[in-house]
Amino acid sequence: PRMTDRRKTISPISSHDMRKRARSRIPRFAFDYVDGAAGEENAACRSRAAFTRTCLRPRILVNSESRADLSCRFLGRSWSVPFGIAPLGLPGLAWPGADLAFARAAEAFGAPYVCPTPATQTLEALRAAAPKRSMFQLYVGASPDITEDLIARAEAAGFDTLLVTADVPRPGKRLRDLRNGFGLPLRFSAGTLLDLARHPAWAIATLRHGAPRLANLAPYARPGAGARTLAQVMAAQSSGRLDWDVFGQIRRRWKGRLVLKGVLDAEDAALAAAAGADAIQVSSHGGRQLDGAPAPLDVLPAIRAAVPEGFPIALDGGVRSGEDILKAMDAGADFVFVGRPFLYAVAAYGPEGPRALFDVLANELEAAMAMTGRKDLSRG
């Protein structure tokens, strides 16, 4: 007789639970890469603290019955929820095939997936997995030829939205990675081997899949260039010349929608709008760059006040629940991106995880809307 469907149905409760499970399921160096931040991790803590100290405004006796409408428009498109997956470099370290799982989950859910330059699968393959929902995140590296080639490839693959990440003029100083001696390609010290032996599911999946690599950048690698630290790889590919002139060149070059990611200052926000950005993403890179960076949620109102009326603003950093998403929107965000929780989800549950996280966050957001007396996300 046919066996019943043996696919495990997973029912994670929250992004925090996913983080806990991720922590025990993947090697320490991989978890630290995902979970860590720059310096003393103050900026990362601050991003979270801004959410925990912010309250929503409860309203009663409104809309208790019908399900709130989570759909919204952003960058000229309709989305089923007002949040998506932030660009996450080297996600294959959280779980093999993570990028593809993200792209597929976003496409199925009707939410954006941002394919990062340092993806562990090619932008062409990821675009194909999320043909209606994907955007491309560009790092401007040391070589203008590589930057141009990446833009041309993104265009040819059919991406219509480009996010230029501007907060990496230097690689972030991530103490956990430095202490773990974490670099690319992965080196296997005695400590790493022990770490792998303690996390056999990850180790076996990774063996089967092959060690994660920066698939988009592989064509430009010099053969036999040898091992370099992650900091060196990142520096070459993400910390090239990027100023308002270069941003202007990219604006003229890119026909689609252009988003400047990594804005934390009201003056920069106004400059971005004047330079022809179609939107900005208020972000401190999850606290992984400048440890003294303010919380995105805290600076959002001043940034909102500094840009033209109706100028689209996305926010990321520290969003861990549906209530957080609503708080960000109340503070002036049109759209929200979620970073680490998607990595926790895939580390905790494999390819099924991202889809489950979309469900968790959407259900939390819907409940929060009901408890704040909202039927939909329209303002006013």
With respect to ligand FNR, which residue has the nearer C-beta, 115 or 371? Answer: 115
Binding range to ligand FNR, per CB under 6 A, among 83-91, 169-177, 299-307, 355-363: 83-91
Residue from 26, 30, 34, 280 in contact with ligand FNR (CB under 6 A): 34
Binding range to ligand FNR, per CB under 6 A, among 102-110, 217-225, 280-288, 365-373: 280-288
Residue from 88, 140, 154, 361 in contact with ligand FNR (CB under 6 A): 88
Binding range to ligand FNR, per CB under 6 A, among 68-76, 223-231, 243-251, 333-341: 333-341
Tell the smallest beta-carbon distance from residue 17 to ligand FNR (Å). 16
Calculate the alpha carbon distances from 108 to 81, 111, 365 in Å: 12, 8, 18
With respect to ligand FNR, which residue has the nearer C-beta, 133 or 285? Answer: 285
Binding range to ligand FNR, per CB under 6 A, among 22-30, 123-131, 185-193, 339-347: 339-347
Which of 16, 199, 209, 285 is the catalytic position?
Answer: 285
Residues 6+ apart with CB under 8 A from 24: none
Query: Are the C-beta atoms of 44 and 286 separated by less than 8 Å?
Result: yes
Residue from 171, 339, 350, 353 in contact with ligand FNR (CB under 6 A): 339
Q: How many other β-carbons are positioned within 10 Å of the β-carbon of residue 305?
A: 11
Strands 83-85 and 72-74: unpaired
Select from 190, 171, 139 the least CA-distant residue to 29: 190
Largest Cα–Cα separation, the chain: 68
Tell the smallest beta-carbon distance from residue 140 to ligand FNR (Å). 11
Tell whether residue 165 is a contact of ligand FNR (CB under 6 A). Answer: yes
Q: How many other β-carbons are positioned within 10 Å of the β-carbon of residue 126?
A: 26
Tell the smallest beta-carbon distance from residue 322 to ligand FNR (Å). 14
Strand partners, 281: 261, 314
With respect to ligand FNR, which residue has the nearer C-beta, 250 or 370? Answer: 250
Residue 285: active-site member? yes
- The type of residue at 335 is F
Tell the smallest beta-carbon distance from residue 86 to ligand FNR (Å). 3
Q: Which of residues 89-148 bind ligand FNR (CB under 6 A)?
A: 89, 116, 118, 137
Structure tokens at 221: 């690698």
Binding range to ligand FNR, per CB under 6 A, among 87-95, 151-159, 321-329, 359-367: 87-95
Strand partners, 229: 183
- The type of residue at 275 is A
Tell the smallest beta-carbon distance from residue 283 to ligand FNR (Å). 4
Tell whether residue 350 is a contact of ligand FNR (CB under 6 A). Answer: no
Q: Which of residues 212-271 bind ligand FNR (CB under 6 A)?
A: 261
Tell whether residue 171 is a contact of ligand FNR (CB under 6 A). Answer: no
Tell the smallest beta-carbon distance from residue 149 to ligand FNR (Å). 17
With respect to ligand FNR, which residue has the nearer C-beta, 118 or 332? Answer: 118
Structure tokens at 260: 């400047």
With respect to ligand FNR, which residue has the nearer C-beta, 141 or 332? Answer: 141
Phi then psi for 300, rounded to 5 degrees? -60, -45
Query: Are the C-beta atoms of 322 and 73 separated by less than 8 Å?
Result: no
Give CB contacts under 8 A, 24+ apart, made by 294-297: 294/43, 294/46, 294/264, 295/43, 295/46, 295/47, 295/49, 295/50, 296/47, 296/50, 296/264, 297/47, 297/50, 297/51, 297/54, 297/327, 297/328, 297/331
Tell whether residue 285 is a contact of ligand FNR (CB under 6 A). Answer: yes
> Does residue 312 have a cis peptide bond before it, meaning omega lies within 30 degrees of 0?
no
Give the residues lining the site for ligand FNR (CB under 6 A): 33-34, 47, 86-89, 116, 118, 137, 165, 261, 283, 285-286, 288, 316-319, 338-340, 343
Write out the catalytic residue numbers: 285
